[in-house]
Structure 1
Amino acid sequence: MLDAAPASSHGFTADVARLLQLMAHSVYSERDVFLRELVANAADACEKLRHEALSDGALAEKAGAPLVTIALDKEKRLLTVTDNGVGMDRDELVSALGTIANSGTRAFLDKLGSEKGENLGQSLIGQFGVGFYSVFMVADKVEVATRRAGSEQAWLWTSEGKGTYTIEAAASEDAPAVGTRVTLHLNAESDEFLESWRVERVLKEHSGAIAIPIDLLGAPGEEPRRITDGQALWTKPKSEITPEEYTDFYHQLSGQFDEPALTIHWRAEGRTEYTVLAFIPGARPLDLFDPLRRSRAKLYVRRVLISKEIDLLPAWLRFVRLVVDSADIPLNVSREMAQNSPLIAQIGKAITTRIAQEISKLAENEPEKFAQVWKNFGAVLKEGLHEDPSRRDEIFKIARFASTNAPEPTRTLKDYVADLRENQTAVYYLLGDDRKRLASSPQLEEFRARGVEVLLLDDPVDAFWVTSCVGYDGKPFKSVTQGAADLSQVPLKEGETAPEAPESAGEVAALVTRLKETLKEHVEDVRLSTRLRDSAVCLIAPEHGLDRRLAKLLAEHGESGALGKPVLEINPRHPAILALAKLAEGEEASDGAFMLLDLARIADGEPPVDAAAFARRLAARLAKMGA
């Protein structure tokens, strides 16, 4: 037996050059984030100086207005980022830039203590101590000239990102009077960052909300140009923002040029704090029916853009354009995305609730403006009835429908239930893709005679939510084109009379038998109708089958078995039915049967079974009329 070797402790070692290469080329997905990281560091330096100056009169005298300046030099291939912040001394250079993952901001906050550090932490951006090294994605060499506030000595830090760096004293004239200047010697693959328009776009997109102004010098000798003013719109009090400013920001955020229909701006406080600025567009975005059906919100953390398209809202609110800014959201090390955190879901849920409430207020207080919102986005909002059961009551409050009582979508389900007829036990609806055709559908004839209102649902999503929702106010949803229409307990409207008993009942019964045999390949059943008054025929779905509209939609998406055979209903009092009942079996009777089926299909928005045969039969009928 060999004695076991004694346990020993070892420290981790690292190949620094390899680690730097990984930091520069594997942490970030987009090369332009280096500029965001440098500006964030500069902003933190300015905020640190402001804090130190509060307790040091000498620093307060020397500290100027916070400013970050970006300068480009195409000829020398240089990009510099200069700030007038707190700067660094030699030890701080070694600690901040010579030690990977050592955050100077974090150390500063720790030094202040828990309470002061927590308060100031809301204004500071840096967390991980790795963002600076993103510069080596675009630079062969980096120089950092810096002078600590209150010190005469300046220092120069230099590295090529290959595992080593140098620090030396810098001549006074080669360093900022106070603050830091980072000079990047751009590599051959980074010409784009020598173009002022490209740098300006990156700054506005990623750092436009930083609380410090940013100036840009496009070439040596040029006058600096203010790119951002250091005030993000959503951080201002609502009382200080004009409608024109909200509209201009909406145009930038959405890429559209319409007027927003609704602007929602609030700050949430409590255990989780965040600010939201949301807009409901005045016109449909081009991507409204994008197959991905994702919401597109911009997420900022401490005013730094983290995600341009975070999926924060449910799909049924994807048309809302919004900005969310929070200091509480945990990030991954690249700060390019939020971690998959329950906090994100919590914020998204709260924002969804607030937006739904604001839409409901708009519907109640400004019905004309809401009518346009519903016209543009009602079909999307109704997706929530099918996909988000927990929000159904909220959506039912704002949902508007066209019906046999209202040609435009102005009726709420509350209105519908308030106008129920005596003994009416269901909320009736008719599905289709053309509201005008639905309004003239033969299936509605008996419902009209008894004054029963029917919802006319012409959006594809309607076919789904009416099947997944149990009902409204205790009344189930029922299709007028599915199963038998038993309205006998609902009284007729004033002036209407009950249908008379059919003439030649025996001949009509024989006709039903013949139609079943002749059309058996195309219909499941043929029966006498209780819903037809003026029309000869109509098609309906079987009692336990899918609604015809839903079956068609499923069939269009590959569910071929969904579209079963319909039921053909005939009106036993209609002259065409009575005439056909008197015909003996033969070719003419067969042609008449198919004519009835084709007429029913056309009324239902479908083509005839055989268009050529239908044309031949119709021509023959017309010829007989002139004989």
Structure 2
Amino acid sequence: MNAQTEQLEFQAETRQLLELMIHSVYSNKDIFLRELVSNASDALDKLRLAAFQDKDLDADTSDLHIDIDVDKVARTLTVRDNGIGMSRDEVVDLIGTLAKSGTAEVRRTLAQAKDAAAPEELIGQFGIGFYSTFMVADRVTLITRKAGENAGTRWESSGESTYTIETVEGSDTEKAPQGTSITLHLKPADTEDHLYDYTAEHKIREIIKRYSDFIAFPIRMEIERSKTVTNDDGEQTQEISVETETLNSQKALWARSKDEVDEEEYKEFYRHIAHAWDDPLEIIPMKAEGTFEYQALLFLPSHAPFDLFAREHKRGVQLYVKRVFIMDNCEELMPEYLRFVKGVVDAQDLSLNVSREILQQDRQLARIQRRLVKKVLATVKDMRADELEKYQGFWREFGRVIKEGLLSDLDNRETILEISSFVSTQTAEGDEAGLTTLREYVERMKDGQDKIFYMTGESRQQIESSPHMEAFRAKGFEVLLLTDPVDEMWVGSVPEFDGTPLVSIAKGDVDLDTEDERKEHEAEREQQDKDFADLLTWLKSALDSDVRDVRLSSRLTTSPACLVGEAFDMSPMLEKMYRASGQEVPHAKRTLELNPTHPLVEGLRKAHAARPGDAALTETAELVYGMAVLAEGGELSDPAKFAHTLADRLTATL
């Protein structure tokens, strides 16, 4: 082994992944060819773009194509492209290691996939298509040379613990032409875990037609043809000829009308661009003519990708200009909250030689984005109206992401509010069909109710157990239960829905009584205000470092106390989220509300009237405040002190 040849070990995560692949995690092994062809197509797209951007690039782009070669005797299958190629370092990074985030999640999900109905989706979902070759091959050889470079690279592995990598340079570069070739030394066709012969012409045709017919570049294969020839003496012989055939149609689906495209073609195109295996939930073709022209083909996925909320998640659809691929994940075409949308946009009037910086300033692209967003949201709205079950599945997967748009997309905020669904106190536990829209909530509001009530929290159980819910439950008012982290953010920015204010039941004063009930209880409340005036004044002073004010409550029926913020205060949960992300936020004092009918509060009033200077009463006040914090799921500033005080007081009662 010379100085330019190394034997390296696979990254630990990659070794475990290969072991899962080799031991037949996947039942449909045909997908290995789909993945190799898809990777080759990406490499050709990247070379064509690089050549547009760098006119001095030493690369041949005159006949970009993919070749498939088969050797039945040696039992090898080779997929070759003349695309961008890879450098030696890129081979090590991309092939020798599993250089992606979430590798533990990859291994866990793959390991569980043996019993799943369609585990094949995971290969594309986790971006590990190259490794699928080891499902059908005992050994894989990769030879590549990056466009514009003189030296090539040869990589080989049997999918075990190591791989070899070798530099190919000088006169040997003919062995490593521009692009990448991957040769699979196939497993024997008669083993139990290998059901198909991937050297058979009909099998390769079948796979290409099913998965890769729409690839924009020709996929070529040499086909042997034999014919019977009769000579002048009447003797017959077989003549063998070799013809090169293109196996795919190369039709751009987005340029054809929906009537011209088979449903299965759409599905396979979606799987190709999304690196997925599931079917799309919705197919959205678009065409715009006039001052600026473009064609688009968008897809709403059936399932959320595993990294949907990861910081590294890439968003955006593919951008083409006049059928020429420009870039993947064009962020300027799709906002962050629609990052799950997949598809293609083919613009007619953009320059082919564009950069991401130029696109950020392009007004035409901004107009295209606005139209795409409106079309996607309109599709979801129609789904909610016409196909409720499909919508429920969509909202379960992507609702949390859609609601991010309430913060970032002011132009479409009303539409997003219209299509959003929420759990409420009228929704049975686990009942997706019972989710409500804001419009449905408004239609159900009680006579005299003029607000949409909501409360945020970590879980439904925490919210429903909160003291703030007591009066609303007793009076039969419906409350939205908002438990997604994003809910803490958007409710502070959305004051109303279609003219009806959104009000947190944990903020501000609450008066749920009717006019008749107010008159009936007016005298009683005036008396309570007089009876508790001294206690409230003292408590405000005793708890001055923790509370803004102390007052009697009309929202409590069974709990002794609760904490209430002002209308525009940051919620305790939002404070916690900011601090968890490393941001310092000032602690906002809130109002302590007391239930005047609770025995503890009444007892505290009488004790304070009898012995106003008693130090033990201050401890009781601190315990009441601490209980209010805990009841709403908050965190005590000094839990040890609270526990110590509580233990002392309990001991004194024994």
Q: Distance in 1 between matches of 2:321 and 2:515?
A: 60
* 1:297 pairs with one of 277, 292, 317: 317
Q: For each residue in 1:524-581, what CA deviation from the matched residue of structure 2 results, as whole angstroms up to 9, or x when unmatched?
A: 2221112111111111113553344444444444553443112211111111212233
Is 2:68–2:219's contact at 8 Å kept on the other side of the alignment? yes
Aligned 8 A contact 1:210 1:304 in 2: no
Alignment of 1:214-613 (within 5 A): 214-215=219-220, 228-291=248-311, 295-311=315-331, 312-332=333-353, 340-407=361-428, 410-489=435-514, 508-543=532-567, 545-557=569-581, 560-583=584-607, 584=611, 585-613=613-641
Aligned residues: 470
Residue 370 (structure 1) shift = 0.6
CA distance in 2, matches of 1:317, 1:434: 25
Measure how far apart 1:367 and its partner are.
Answer: 1.0
Q: Is this contact kept in 1: 2:319–2:346, CA < 8 A? A: yes
Q: Compared with structure 1, are the counterparts of its residues 426 and 186 closer, same or farther at alpha carbon in structure 2 (3 Å cutoff)?
A: farther
Which of 605, 609, 614 aligns to 2:642? It is: 614
| Contact 2:405-2:416 at 8 Å conserved across structures | yes
User: Comparing 392-401 with 582-591, which one deviates more in the overlay?
Assistant: 582-591
Change (3 A) 1:499 1:594: farther
> What's the secondary structure of 1:300's corresponding residue?
strand
Cα deviation for residue 479 of structure 1 reads 1.8
Deviation at 1:70, TM superposition (A): 8.8
State whether residues 51 and 59 of structure 2, in contact with CA within 8 Å, keep that contact through their aligned partners in structure 1: no
> Residues 542 and 396 (structure 1 numbering): CA distance in 2 closer, same or farther, change over 3 Å?
closer
Distance 2:420 2:343 in 1: 23
The Cα shift of 1:411 comes to 1.4
Letter in 1 for 2:404: E
Q: 1:577 to 1:371 in 2, by over 3 A?
A: same
Partner AA of 1:542 in structure 2: E
Alpha-carbon distance in structure 1 between the residues aligned to 2:445 and 2:603:
38
5+ residue gaps, structure 2, are: 1-47, 71-79, 83-144, 152-169, 185-207, 224-240
Counterpart secondary structure, 2:345: strand
Distance 1:210 1:280, change over 3 A: closer
Question: Which stretch shifts more, 363-372 or 248-257?
Answer: 248-257
Equivalent residue number for residue 87 of structure 2? none
Letter in 2 for 1:402: V
Deviations 1:377-401 (A, max 9, x none): 1121112222111102211221111
Q: Distance in 2 between matches of 1:567 and 1:264?
A: 51
In structure 1, C-alpha distance between the alignment counterparts of 2:478 and 2:356, rounded to whole Å? 55
CA contact (8 A) 2:147 2:179 kept: no
Distance in structure 2 (CA, Å) of the matches to 1:24 and 1:296: 18
Task: Report the CA distance shift for 1:468/1:543 in structure 2 as closer, same or farther (over 3 A).
Answer: closer
- The question of whether the paired residues in 2 share the 8 Å contact of 1:71 and 1:80 is answered with no
Q: Which amino acid aligns with 2:298?
A: A
| Deviation, structure 1 residue 481 | 1.5
For the 8 Å contact 1:299–1:324, the answer to whether it is kept is: yes
Alignment check: 8 A CA contact 1:306 1:338 kept: no
- Cα-to-partner distance string for 1:557-616 (whole Å, 9 max, x where unaligned): 455344311221111111121223333443432332222112111122112332223333
CA distance in 1: counterparts of 2:422 and 2:360, whole angstroms: 41
Query: C-alpha deviations, 1:454-483, integer Å up to 9, x for none?
Result: 222222322333232341222222222222
The equivalent residue for 2:218 is 213
Deviations 1:93-146 (A, max 9, x none): xxxxxxxxxxxxxxxxxxxxxxxxxxxxxxxxxxxxxxxxx9971469xxxxxx
Between stretches 287-296 and 442-451, larger displacement belongs to: 287-296
Contact 1:554 1:562 in 2 (8 A): no
Deviations 1:211-265 (A, max 9, x none): 66331579xx998685743223434443354444433332322223333322223
Q: Which deviations, in whole Å up to 9, do the C-alpha atoms of 1:180-213 show, x marking residues without a partner?
A: xxxx999599667352469xxxx99xx9856663
In structure 1, distance between residues paired with 2:521 and 2:56: 78
**Superposition deviation, residue 69 in structure 1:** 6.5
Show the counterpart of 2:126: none
Q: Quote the Cα distance in structure 2 between the aligned partners of 1:570 and 1:33.
A: 79
Residues 1:136 and 1:452: Cα distance change in structure 2 (over 3 Å): closer
Structure 1 24/281 Cα, relative in aligned 2: closer, same or farther at 3 Å? closer
Q: Residues of 2 paired with 1:236 and 1:397: CA distance?
A: 32
Separation of aligned partners in 1, 2:410 and 2:516 = 35
517-526 or 462-471: which moved more?
Answer: 462-471
The alpha-carbon distance between structure 1 residues 24 and 291, as it changes in their structure 2 partners (threshold 3 A), is closer
* Counterpart residue number, 1:195: 181
After alignment, is 274-283 or 24-33 more displaced? 24-33
Q: Matches of 1:38 and 1:345 in 2, distance apart?
A: 33
Identical amino acids, percent of aligned pairs: 33
Query: Helix, strand or coil for the counterpart of 1:261?
Result: strand
CA distance in 2, matches of 1:321, 1:349: 16
* Aligned Cα root-mean-square deviation (Å): 4.5
Whole-Å separation in 1 of the counterparts to 2:563 and 2:522:
22
Could you tell me how far apart the structure 2 residues matched to 1:26 and 1:241 are?
Answer: 32
> Which stretch shows the higher mean deviation, 236-245 or 516-525?
236-245
The runs of 5 or more residues in structure 1 that have no matched partner are 1-22, 43-67, 73-78, 82-133, 141-183
User: Aligned partners of 1:515, 1:590: CA distance in 2, in Å?
Assistant: 8
263-272 or 563-572: bigger deviation: 263-272
CA distance in 1, matches of 2:637, 2:291: 65
Cα offsets for 1:347-404 (capped at 9, x unmatched): 2221111111111110101111111211221121112222111102211221111222
Contact 1:293 1:315 in 2 (8 A): no
Task: Please give the residue correspondences for 1:33-52 in structure 2 after superposition, counting only pairs within 5 Å.
Answer: 34=59, 37-39=61-63
In structure 1, distance between residues paired with 2:624 and 2:296: 59
